[in-house]
Amino acid sequence: MVAIVTTRQCFLAAALGVGLAIAGQVIAAPIISSLPTLNVNEARAELGKRLFFDKRVSGDVGISCATCHEPENGYANKDALSKGYPGNKHFRNAPGLINTAHKKVWMHDGRIGTSLNDVTREMITEDYIMNMDMRIMQERFKQDPVYVKMFKAAGLGEPSNGGVRKAIPEYLKTLTSHGAPFDKGTMSVSAKRGLKLFKGKAGCIACHNGPVFTDGKAYNTGVKENFDVWLDPQRHQAFIAYAAFMGIQNYMNLKRDPGAHVQKHVADGSGMGKFITPSLRELKYTAPYMHNGMSKTLADVVAFYNRGGDNDRNKDARMKPLALSKAERKDLVAFLLALSGEPLTGSKYVWQEPYPAEYPVIANWLNVPN
């Protein structure tokens, strides 16, 4: 509850544009800013890049990280709901990964709040995502001379699960926005008007703040369910597996995405339908939007907020109609687009060399250590 009070005060603070003294404590107005520079271990990031695009990271070698997180789509995906592992499909939208290294909490339901090392493990091993037994993965990579060299060069010894979980996050650090008009100070007049609305009348900054434009907290904004989650048995099966694993009661009857409810399981269900505030950077590339892809365009997103979100009894009290004019909505979209930088495509970000078609035989196998 403390967090919510604080957030509410932040919202007011933002609206007023001043700091407020709460219980003797000065709460600063939320700020938005450019991203800090991250130190990147080049050799490790290069290894992570090769891993990110390598299908051998998944159980049946059918998909890579990039299958759902496509460079040309801001490392998100054009599908409203993600592909997931062959044999099933996913029940949420694949989020963009640009700036993910700057976050402190991951997944739409915020179930991982430790590090990208853990996120990497979760993505690789979860049965409806990549379904990989990492013990097999490790042996696959020991069988690839290119990896043997790259792990060593990255200071990670021989190929290992732990090494993969270090290298992929290192690569993700390289996926940091650059060249956004907001950061360069080259915003259009319309975008500047949008920024004002963002901080003021539209109140976006209450939650979308900091250098990544997210406070990393979960809210219920009343996004409509995407019925495809239930109408497509291949999605519903993944949803059931998730809900059962997360310990949701009556999961066979569940017709809504529980979201961050999985973190605390508040008994009255008031946590149902909360989702982590997403970043607003790079939205130019990452349509459709929301945790379930229910908003196709940024205009749709702004219209959604302008009407105070959709129906949900748990909806955050601050979700109220904004009464933005058509011109104001346009300005807000212009500002959101000014948060997108250069596309992170090309060989600097994308592994472009072919992968070996098969695992080379280790010669003289009997006489060399495994």
Partner 1 sequence: MGSFNKAPILFLVTTVMTMATFTFAMGDKPPASASKVSISTAPATATQPQVKTFAKVADPSIPPLAALGPPPVPADNLMSDAKVALGKLLYFDPRLGGDASVSCATCHEPEQGWSFAEGISRGYPGTVHWRGSQSVMNSAYYGKLFAVGSTPSLESQAPSAARGGVAGNGENDIMEARLRLIPDYVNRFNDVFGEPWPTINNAWKAIAAFERTLVQRDTPVDKYLLGDKTALDNQQLRGKALYEGKARCIVCHNGAFTTNEKYYNIGVPRSTRWEEDGLSQVTFRFEQYAKGTTEEMYRNIKDDAGLYYRNKNKWSMGKFRVPTLRYTKYTAPYMRQGQFYTLEEVIDFYDRGGFDEEGRTTSFLETKTPLIKKLSLTDEEKEDLLTFIEALSGDEILMDKPRLPPYQSLFTRAELQTAQAKK
3-state DSSP assignment of residue 332: helix
The CB density around residue 296, as the number of other CB atoms within 10 Å, is 13
Q: Which is nearer to partner 1, 233 or 346 (CB)?
A: 233
Strands (E), 5-109: 20-22, 25-27
Smallest separation (angstroms) from partner 1 to the CB of 139: 5
Site string for partner 1, 59-78 (x = CB under 8 A): xxxx----------------
* Packing angle, helices 116-125 and 161-174, rounded to 10: 120
Q: Which is nearer to partner 1, 5 or 245 (CB)?
A: 245
Site string for partner 1, 133-172 (x = CB under 8 A): x-xx-xxx-xx-----------------------------
Q: Which is nearer to partner 1, 1 or 252 (CB)?
A: 252
* Burial tier of 274 (Cβ tally within 10 Å: 0-12, 13-18, 19+): buried
Residues binding partner 1: number (CB under 8 A): 52
Smallest separation (angstroms) from partner 1 to the CB of 30: 29
Site string for partner 1, 229-258 (x = CB under 8 A): -xxxxx-xxx-xx--xx------x--xx--
Q: What share of the chain is helix, strand, coil (3-state, %, to 5)?
A: 40, 5, 55
Choose which of 2, 36, 317, 365 interacts with partner 1 (CB under 8 A): 365
Residue 149: both structure tokens together = 């060299």
Smallest separation (angstroms) from partner 1 to the CB of 180: 36
* Residue 360 interacts with partner 1 (CB under 8 A): yes or no: yes
* Residue 268 interacts with partner 1 (CB under 8 A): yes or no: no
Supply the DSSP string of 164-229, one letter for each residue: HHHHHHHHHHH------HHHHT---HHHHHHHHHHHTTT-GGGTS-BTTT----EE---PPP-THH
Residue recorded with tokens 């696959």: 140
Angle at 114 between CA 209 and CA 318, to 5 degrees: 35
Parallel, antiparallel, or unpaired: how do β-strands 20-22 and 25-27 relate?
Answer: antiparallel
* Residue 131 interacts with partner 1 (CB under 8 A): yes or no: yes
Smallest separation (angstroms) from partner 1 to the CB of 58: 8
CB 284 within 8 A of CB 292: no
Smallest separation (angstroms) from partner 1 to the CB of 51: 16
* Residue 354 interacts with partner 1 (CB under 8 A): yes or no: no
Choose which of 37, 39, 311, 347 interacts with partner 1 (CB under 8 A): 311
Calpha distance 316→314 (Å, rounded): 6
Residues near partner 1 (CB under 8 A) are 56, 58-62, 85-88, 127-128, 131, 133, 135-136, 138-140, 142-143, 224-225, 227, 230-234, 236-238, 240-241, 244-245, 252, 255-256, 273, 311-313, 358-362, 365-366, 369-370
